[in-house]
Amino acid sequence: MEKDSTQRGKRPFVAKPNDKKPYGKPVGKPGEKKSYGKPGDKKPYGKPAGRTFGKPAGKAGPYGRKPESKPAHAPNAPSSLSRKVALQIFQDVVRKDAYAALSLDDRLKNTNLPQLDKRFCASIVYTTLENLIRIDYALSFFLKDAESLEPTVRDILRISACQLLFHDRIPENAIVDEAVKLTRGAGLEGLTGLTNAVLRSMVRGKNEIKWPRPEEGAKYLSIMYSVPMWLAERLTAAYGPETAEAICSYRSESHFTTIRPNMNQYTDEAFEALLQKKVWEVEKGAVAHAYRVRRAAEIAQDADYLAGHFSIQGESSMLAAQAVNVRAGMQVLDCCAAPGGKTAYLAESMGGAGRVYAWDLHEHRVTLIRAMMRRLRLENVRPAVRDAAVLKEDLAGAMDAVLLDAPCSGLGVMDDKPDIKYRATPESVRELKETQEKLLDTCCQYVKRNGTLVYSTCSVLPEENGEQVKRFLEKHPEFTLAPLPETIDQRFRKEYTETGLQLLPHRDGVEGFFIARMKRIK
């Protein structure tokens, strides 16, 4: 499924360490050192301070990327307002179940923060979310009974501990002082002493935290890479400990936006000539027609984007559309189409001939598809509000190809959207599996004989992917797994198995995705 189209039941979350300790007051007396053994030799780092605003990444660290924040001294020290906004965004996510990217955009567009402060704010939010379980574990050595602590103070401690652990270019005293200011500014004067004591204890004792060791298995993965314990266990069982750690620990070395030309208007060569006129840093992606762009702030406001000359689309999403292998004149159904990236790719690949039916369950999401059609000037797309799990009998057997980019856990894009890993639960995955199976059983009926069915998700869980395809083929002998088209690069085709293609970010350099291409043989 496309990055922003994950469909999950909404639920608030509060990440916790797996070793539960009582929380809520500073441990020991202020100034008293603790001796818990030595942590690792190197300090882990989080996201770069520019992931949302186009700043290139810093040097990779052992657990992520080194933020490029500047030392906190005048005139370039991050402002108190940037931390206040970061706290608001973080609380939107952990207290109100908001999506981090959406809250970040909404909050920052209503501030007059300079770009440096906006980047710092984004870094705090994403690095805290990315490392939340690890941060809570670290705080447990300096704080008791966190569950009963006033929620705002707990969150101030979290974003401040994030800075102490992962933003090594900011003076520690400045971090503590700003945390006290935040506590006071929240009307919690009586808790400023606790904030100060906990963080100053962390300053003194952070190098003595006893971190889990690799031989502790899933517990190590869960705490060190901040993934829920159930997910660490499931990935270990599915992939083995080495690959599971690679999946959990993956942090892309640099942040970029992937774009592709409007294929009705540009060849790759002509599009490259257009890109040469930009001030962006551009390189070719791993997928045909994909270009990776850096230093492009607010790219969706670029004049060429607004004119429909290019689309913003992930490379794995492009691969899913390429797997359909459409030709001019075909009748194609994109079952869960919003926001429309794959629909556009299919429609453009057909050169405006034939028809792409683009369905989605919600009116506001179909509105996004219509807006995409107008921007790209696509005449061969037919959007509709429709539940793809309910058969439209008059279209049974009418489609040359069907693309089902199914609702899923979204765990293939944890690096880009760290809040996703806290939203998914064993229960939500079980419900999604049932939905995926129902969608497959229904949507396969639209495929005509010798037609193509492509099933995809942005998940790395086998139960949503290969196991789902295996069950489908056992249940529907009229379908068989088909090879990926040769237009897809061999580097991806060689990973195709008897149940489909599982893309892994650390191995393939693209978003975590699953793609299976099936053909109706009778």
Write the DSSP assignment of 200-246 as a string of letters: HHHHHHGGG-----GGGTHHHHHHHTT--HHHHHHHHHHH-HHHHHH
Place of tokens 């429309």: 340
What is the distance between the alpha carbons of residues 449 and 519, in angstroms, rounded to a whole number? 8
To which H or E segment does residue 453 belong? Answer: strand 447-457
Contacts of 303 (CB under 8 A, 6+ apart): none
* Residue 20 reports pLDDT greater than 90: no
* Residue 90 reports pLDDT greater than 90: yes
Cα-based angle 314, 93, 413 (whole degrees, multiple of 5): 25
- How high is the pLDDT of residue 2? 53
Pair (277, 168) in one structural domain? no
pLDDT band at 37 (very low <50, low <70, confident <90, very high): very low
Question: Which tens digit of pLDDT belongs to each residue from 451-491?
Answer: 999 999 999 999 999 999 999 999 999 999 999 999 999 99
Pair (372, 293) in one structural domain? no
DSSP state of 335: T
Residue bearing the bigger pLDDT, 417 or 5:
417
Residue bearing the bigger pLDDT, 519 or 22:
519
Residues β-bridged to residue 513: 503
Pair (305, 396) in one structural domain? no
Pair (342, 391) in one structural domain? yes
* Residue 75 reports pLDDT greater than 90: no
Q: State the burial class of residue 208 (Cβ atoms within 10 Å of its Cβ: 0-12, 13-18, 19+).
A: middle
Contacts of 44 (CB under 8 A, 6+ apart): 61, 62, 63, 64, 131, 134, 165, 166, 224
Q: Does 388 reside within a domain?
A: yes
Helix segments in 265-383, DSSP class H: 268-275, 303-306, 315-324, 341-349, 363-376
Pair (57, 88) in one structural domain? yes
- The boundaries of the domain holding residue 341 are 315-520
Pair (33, 170) in one structural domain? yes
Residues with a catalytic annotation lie at 458
Pair (32, 177) in one structural domain? yes
Tokens of residue 19, six digits:
């070793």
Question: Which tens digit of pLDDT belongs to each residue from 293-311?
Answer: 998 878 999 999 999 999 9
* Residue 360 reports pLDDT greater than 80: yes
Q: Does 230 reside within a domain?
A: no
What is the distance between the alpha carbons of residues 151 and 155, in angstroms, rounded to a whole number? 6
Q: Which one of 193, 211, 229 terminates a domain?
A: 211
- How high is the pLDDT of residue 252? 87
Pair (305, 328) in one structural domain? no
Q: How far, CA to CA in Å, does 507 sit from each of 84, 244, 511, 513?
A: 38, 12, 10, 12
How many residues are recorded in the chain?
Answer: 522
Q: Does 205 reside within a domain?
A: yes
Pair (178, 80) in one structural domain? yes
Q: What's the structural domain count of the chain?
A: 3
- How high is the pLDDT of residue 43? 34
- The arithmetic mean of pLDDT across residues 249-262, rounded, is 91
Strands 500-503 and 257-261: unpaired
* Residue 48 reports pLDDT greater than 70: no
SS (H, E, C) 269-280: HHHHHHHCCCCC
| Residue 480: φ, ψ to 5° | -140, 150
Q: Assess contact for 177 and 116: CB atoms under 8 A.
A: no
- How high is the pLDDT of residue 19? 39
Q: Does 218 reside within a domain?
A: no
Which CATH number belongs to the domain containing residue 61 in this structure? 1.10.940.10
Q: Does 486 reside within a domain?
A: yes
Residue bearing the bigger pLDDT, 388 or 352:
388
Pair (399, 308) in one structural domain? no
Pair (359, 377) in one structural domain? yes
Q: Does 222 reside within a domain?
A: no
Which CATH number belongs to the domain containing residue 347 in this structure? 3.40.50.150
Q: Does 377 reside within a domain?
A: yes
Q: Assess contact for 292 and 256: CB atoms under 8 A.
A: yes
Question: Which tens digit of pLDDT belongs to each residue from 168-220?
Answer: 889 999 999 999 999 999 999 999 999 999 999 999 999 999 999 999 999 99
| Residue 225: φ, ψ to 5° | -115, 10
To which H or E segment does residue 402 belong? Answer: strand 399-405
Pair (200, 277) in one structural domain? no
- The arithmetic mean of pLDDT across residues 157-161, rounded, is 98
Look over the chain and give the mean of its residue pLDDT values, rounded to a whole number. Answer: 88
Contacts of 430 (CB under 8 A, 6+ apart): none
- How high is the pLDDT of residue 169? 87
What is the distance between the alpha carbons of residues 426 and 480, in angstroms, rounded to a whole number? 30
Lowest mean pLDDT among 350-354, 409-413, 498-502: 350-354
* Residue 290 reports pLDDT greater than 50: yes
